[in-house]
Amino acid sequence: MASTAKFWREQAARYNLEGTRCLNCGSFFFPPRALCPKCRRSGEVVPYQFKGTGEVVTYTIVHQAPGNRSRQIPYTLAIIRLDEGPQLLSEVICEPEQIHVGMRVRAVFRRLGEEGEEGIIYYGTKFVPADAASPSASATPTSQT
Ligand SMILES: [Zn+2]
């Protein structure tokens, strides 16, 4: 589990789900890495924009949000494994009883919260259930041929 400090340090990259990938072995890195641990200097690491789809590996329901009374509780924090491979900690916006291990999710851009009187607003990537994404894609044609 990532520490809280690490979580916030990685917010910049998390903002747009920007990572990197190694052209030599095809590994994906999120948070982005400048050096492929497998290939070392023979690897060529380039920026990569993740698709934002993946599935829930594990999750926890958070019932308290200290110091932030505007926070909606409970909320759900999950480890998401992106389809490209890397895992990250993020909030999943859904009913607490809805989430389960293996649930398909997709990234959305949401406000993370406000801080103090300055009204600094943090934005970042959160996830929603993937089947909440496409209302028309699953529609079954009623006409028969
Ligand atoms: Zn590599």
Q: What is the pLDDT of residues 76-135, one digit of tens each?
A: 999 999 999 999 888 898 988 899 999 999 998 656 565 555 555 555 678 999 987 444
Taking alpha carbons only, the member of 29, 23, 34 closest to residue 88 is 29
CA of 37 from ligand 1 middle (Å) equals: 7
Domain holding 125, by residue range, is 52-131
Asked if residue 143 is part of any domain, the answer here is no
Asked if residue 27 is part of any domain, the answer here is no
Asked if residue 59 is part of any domain, the answer here is yes
Taking alpha carbons only, the member of 26, 60, 67, 18 closest to residue 44 is 26
CA of 24 from ligand 1 middle (Å) equals: 5
CA of 20 from ligand 1 middle (Å) equals: 11
Residue 32 or 137, more confident:
32
CA of 21 from ligand 1 middle (Å) equals: 8
Q: pLDDT (tens digit, 9 = 90+) per residue, 36-83?
A: 999 999 999 999 999 999 999 999 998 876 666 666 778 899 999 999
Asked if residue 70 is part of any domain, the answer here is yes
**Count of the separate structural domains present in the chain:** 1
pLDDT at 1: 46
Asked if residue 21 is part of any domain, the answer here is no
Asked if residue 90 is part of any domain, the answer here is yes
Asked if residue 25 is part of any domain, the answer here is no
pLDDT at 18: 85
Asked if residue 41 is part of any domain, the answer here is no
pLDDT at 135: 45
81 has which bridge partners?
55, 87
CATH number at residue 86: 2.40.50.840
Alpha-carbon dihedral angle through residues 59, 64, 69, 70, given to the nearest 10 degrees = 20
